[in-house]
C-alpha cells in the first residue's frame, strides 16, 4: 500500500479539466430556474439520486461521476444519502407505476429551493418503455423537471456539464 500511496504523490493526477459550457446556456438555465438561491447555496449542491424505474445503465454512469477522472466533488457537487439533505434530485428511468409514490415522497421530503434533473432518455420521454401498462410516464409527468440530460445512458461528461451549468446558473439566479 505504501508503494501505491508514494506513487500517487509523484504521478500526475488523472482528473481532467472542467468542462466548458457556453455562457448563453448558463444564462438560459439561470433564467429558467428564476430562484434567488445564491445566498443560501453558494456554489455547492447536494444531490440525491432516485431510480424511478431505470435499467441501471444511467446509475452506472452517474457512479462514474465519482471516479477520479471526473471527480465531481471538486465542483461542489456531492451525492447525499437522504432527500432531506438534498438541493437536487437526479431522477432516472421511466417512472414505473410501482415507483411513482416513492418518487413523489422523495420529492416531498426534499426541502425547497430544489431542482429536479431528469437523467437519460427514459426519464426524458420513457425511452423504449412508453407503451407499457407498468409505466406511468416521463419524470415530468410526475414531478416538475428543471433540466433534462438526454442519452442512453448520457455520458458522465454530459452530466457533468449539465450539473456545473446548474451551479453556475443558481449562483447567478
Partner 1 sequence: MSTLRTALLNAALTVEEQKPWPRITVDADTWRQATLAVAAGNATLSGLWAEPGAVHMALLDDDDGSLMVLTLLASDGRFPSVGLTHPPAQRLERKIVDLYGLIPEGMPDDRRWLDHDRWGVRAPLGSSAPASADGATYPFLKAEGPPLHQIAVGPVHAGIIEPGHFRFSANGEIVVRLEERLGYVHKGIEGLLINTTLEAAAKVVARVSGDSTVAYSLAFARAAEAALGVAVPQRAVWLRALMAELERLANHLGDIGAICNDAAFALMLAHCGMLREEVLRATKIAFGHRLMMDCIVPGGIATDLHDAAPILALTMHIRQRFPRLVELYDNTASLQNRTVSTGRLLPELARRFGAGGPVGRASGRAFDARKAPGYPPYGDLDFKMIKREDGDVDARIWVRIDEVYESLELIEQIVDRLPAGPIAYPLAPALRERKVPQAGGLANEPRDSASEGLAMVEGFRGDILVWLRTDETGHVLRGTVRDPSVFHWPLLEAAIEGNIVADFPLCNKSFNCSYSGHDL
| Of 33 and 50, CB closest to partner 1 | 50
Number of residues that bind partner 1 (CB under 8 A): 50
- Residue placing its CB nearer to partner 1 in the complex, 98 or 144: 98
Can you spell out the DSSP letters for the chain? Answer: -HHHHHHHHHSPP-PPPPPP--HHHHHHHHHHH----HHHHTT-EEEEEEESS--SHHHHHHHHTTSTTT-GGGGTEEE-S-GGG-SEEEEESPEETTTHHHHHHHHHHSPSS-EEEEEHHHHHH-GGGTT-TTEEE-GGGTS--SEEE-SSSPPHHHHHHHHHHHHHHHHH-
Q: According to the binding rule CB under 8 A, does residue 140 interact with partner 1?
A: no
Residue placing its CB nearer to partner 1 in the complex, 86 or 167: 86
Interface mask toward partner 1 for 60-89; x: CB under 8 A: xxxxx-xxxx---------x-xxx------
**CA separation for the pair 56, 23 (Å, rounded):** 32
Least Å from the CB of residue 124 to partner 1: 14
Residues in 93-112 that interact with partner 1 by CB under 8 A? 93-94, 96-102, 105-106
Subset of residues 3 to 62 that bind partner 1, contact rule: CB under 8 A:
3-4, 14, 49-62
| Position 123 contacts partner 1 (CB under 8 A) | no
Using CB under 8 A, list all residues that contact partner 1.
Answer: 1, 3-4, 14, 49-64, 66-69, 79, 81-83, 93-94, 96-102, 105-106, 127-129, 131-135, 152-153, 155
Amino acid at each position: 500500500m505504501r508503494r501505491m500511496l508514494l506513487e500517487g504523490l509523484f504521478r500526475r493526477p488523472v482528473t481532467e479539466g472542467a468542462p466548458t459550457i457556453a455562457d448563453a446556456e448558463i444564462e438560459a438555465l439561470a433564467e429558467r430556474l428564476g430562484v434567488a438561491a445564491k445566498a443560501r447555496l453558494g456554489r455547492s449542491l447536494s444531490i440525491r439520486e432516485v431510480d424511478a424505474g431505470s435499467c441501471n445503465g444511467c446509475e452506472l454512469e452517474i457512479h462514474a461521476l465519482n471516479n477520479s477522472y471526473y471527480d465531481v466533488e471538486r465542483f461542489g457537487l456531492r451525492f447525499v444519502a437522504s432527500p432531506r439533505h438534498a438541493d437536487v434530485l437526479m431522477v432516472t428511468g421511466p417512472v414505473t407505476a410501482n415507483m411513482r409514490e416513492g418518487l413523489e415522497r422523495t420529492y416531498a421530503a426534499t426541502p425547497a429551493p430544489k431542482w429536479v434533473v431528469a437523467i437519460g432518455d427514459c426519464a426524458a420521454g420513457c425511452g423504449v418503455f412508453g407503451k407499457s401498462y407498468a409505466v406511468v410516464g416521463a419524470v415530468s409527468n410526475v414531478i416538475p423537471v428543471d433540466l433534462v440530460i438526454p442519452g442512453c445512458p448520457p455520458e458522465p461528461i454530459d452530466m457533468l456539464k449539465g450539473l456545473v451549468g446548474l451551479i453556475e446558473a443558481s449562483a447567478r439566479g
